[in-house]
Amino acid sequence: MKIPEILLVETFQKPGALASVLEVIAEAQLVIEHLQSLRREQGRTLWEITVEIDEQAHPEFYGKINALPHARFVGKSDRVFNRHKGGKIHMEPSLQITTQQILRDIYTPGVARVCIAIRDDAAKAALYTNRQNTVAVVTNGTAILGLGDIGPVAGLPVMEGKAALFAALVGLTAYPILIDSKDTARIVETIVSIAPSFGAIQLEDIAAPECFAIEAELVERLRIPVLHDDQHGTAVVALAGLINAVKRVGRSLSSSVVGQVGLGAAGLGIARVLRAQGVQRLLGSDLRADALERLRGLGGEVATVPELMARSDSVGATTGGRGLIKPEWVRPGQIIFALSNPDAEIEPMAALERGAVFAADGKGINNVAAFPGLFKGALEAGVPRFTDGMLIAAAHALARRAGPEELLPDALNLDTHRAVTAAVRAAGVEPVFSAL
């Protein structure tokens, strides 16, 4: 499995010293994600080099660096771990508690007046509490990134990351909620029990097929927006990227044959939003009979992976299977989105070399561009649930924001999230989507 590693490499102040290190990296067919000089002293420079590397596939990599005459491998940086120390989120009050009068107003005895007002009119909670600006980010840890079932506590850094993005990008307060259970009914009852604390629920990294039943039950029982980000957030960004890709090659999305390899949470989420967008021919492949039945329920056609590659104009892949799509299966002119993280089904460069007109992976087509605005828009609209119209509106808003050489806009640009928020809020009156 490829994992981002931050290498510390020291080079001597000699011509070509750094170039020789970069040559070793290139020979290993690794891509440099980041390069930074940390310090220079006594004729030596310490470099921080970020690469995605499968160490089992490159057992001699570090030795080759050490064999260079003017460089040595020092170790690995703790930068990522340092940025996680103490967690990535914290809560602070929205006003300064600096006097006894403020204390008495916001707590006892003054708070009793607000409690009574909400008791008499529950709608006032939206005005006098932060509930309408809060999201519960809920996982049971059964499908964390591409790591699989690693448990809820090991998945907490991901949930904290989601919460940090909510705060930074759209100003929502999000709380990681870990549920130590794989029992669907227990998970549902737990979320229903805590739902009064929140304005919306984001389900995250819950394995298929349980995630479908959990989401469907919660949508039915709760009167606040519930969205499984692995399904619908991924679907929104995939649709946005595909809208731009087909437009730039002069095709019609509705008349294109679209293939989806892998029909788990993300794959079926993509399939259903493509059908809602108007895609007529949808091929799908999966090893699980229940997943194929869900595909048929959406009006899709079952195919093997080679068949799907041979017949599809555009292909999405969300299997977690590194190298599943063989380069020789790629046809000239195809659009390939291999979205599994951290290892794609086919590397974008390999697909492009075989003639794909567009190719992207999960780093380029990432749901961080969608989920903050989806929730912000739904909460501002005051709707009880997400709809197909809201998801499709978000995708089109993202597609419009992308630059001429981009499939998706910059996810760190706050205008991106404002555009998604506005589109979702405006679309909040569309009919409710049916659960998978």
Task: Please confirm, yes or no, whether 107 is among the known catalytic residues.
Answer: yes
Return d(Cα 175, Cα 202) in angstroms, integer. Answer: 10
Q: Going edge to edge, which strands form the sheet with 226-228?
A: 173-178, 134-139, 200-203, 226-228
Task: Please confirm, yes or no, whether 162 is among the known catalytic residues.
Answer: yes
- Cα distances from 398 to residues 103, 304, 339, 386, 395, in angstroms, run 44, 32, 18, 17, 5
Choosing from 107, 124, 128, 247, the catalytic residue is 107
Give the single-character DSSP code of 122: G
Amino acid at 1: M
Amino acid at 24: V
Return d(Cα 404, Cα 11) in angstroms, integer. Answer: 39
Q: How far is CA 399 from the centre of its chain?
A: 17
Query: CA 402, 408, 413 angle in degrees (round to 5)?
Result: 75
Tokens of 303: 């195919």
Is there a contact between 351 and 327 (Cβ–Cβ < 8 Å)?
yes
Burial category of 37 from C-beta neighbours within 10 Å (exposed 0-12, middle 13-18, buried 19 and up)? exposed
Quick one: CA torsion of 273, 277, 283, 288, rounded to 10 degrees? 20
Choosing from 88, 162, 175, 376, the catalytic residue is 162
Burial category of 275 from C-beta neighbours within 10 Å (exposed 0-12, middle 13-18, buried 19 and up)? middle
Return d(Cα 227, Cα 215) in angstroms, integer. Answer: 7
Residues that are catalytic: 107, 162
